[in-house]
Amino acid sequence: MSTIGADYVRPSAGGTARALVRGTVAAWANLNGTGIIALRDSLNISSVVDAGTGSYRYQLASVMANDNGSATAGTFAFAMPSPTVTVQAITATQVAVTHRGTTAGSDTLADALIATVNIMGDLA
């Protein structure tokens, strides 16, 4: 009896290699969310849409199997005190995130110098 070990599989016709281990992150990103937004680094993120002050939509390069994934988001070097980061929506193709801060007692959307997101679930 033989055993074949592999960490990734790629379709024979080419395309994106996918992890074989369940429970691993399907996509992640580190974003400069100020000015003209730009990905610093990412996995399985094709682009990010600036959806207004403090709001970003991460587009997946390889889609999820369904809309039932999970996402966590964070921020570093946030210009406002008491940052709050909220995952607004998850679909098979994108994740929407907002960043808020408190200034003078008011909760306000604000761009994040460093915005991060991790997306878990099965790829299609």
Residue 101 inside a domain? The answer is yes
Average pLDDT, the chain: 86
Whether pLDDT at 78 is above 70:
no
Which pTM value belongs to this model? Answer: 0.81
Question: Nearest to residue 18, comparing CAs of 41, 40, 43?
Answer: 43
Residue 50 inside a domain? The answer is yes
124 vs 64, more confident: 64
Whether pLDDT at 10 is above 80:
no
Residue 7 inside a domain? The answer is no
Residue 4 inside a domain? The answer is no
Residue 107 inside a domain? The answer is yes
Residue 6 inside a domain? The answer is no
Integer Cα distance of 101 and 112 in angstroms: 10
Buried b / exposed e over 94-109, threshold 16 CB at 10 Å, is: bbbbbbbbeeeeeeee
Residues in Cβ contact with 98 at an 8 Å cutoff, skipping those fewer than 6 apart? 54, 55, 56, 85, 86, 88, 109
Residue 26 inside a domain? The answer is yes
Residue 114 inside a domain? The answer is yes
| pLDDT confidence of residue 41 | 97
Expressed as residue numbers, the domain containing 101 is 22-120
Integer Cα distance of 89 and 66 in angstroms: 13
**Structural domains counted in the chain:** 1
Cβ atoms of 119 and 69 within 8 Å: the answer is yes
DSSP 64: B
Q: What's the one-letter identity of residue 56?
A: Y
| pLDDT confidence of residue 24 | 74
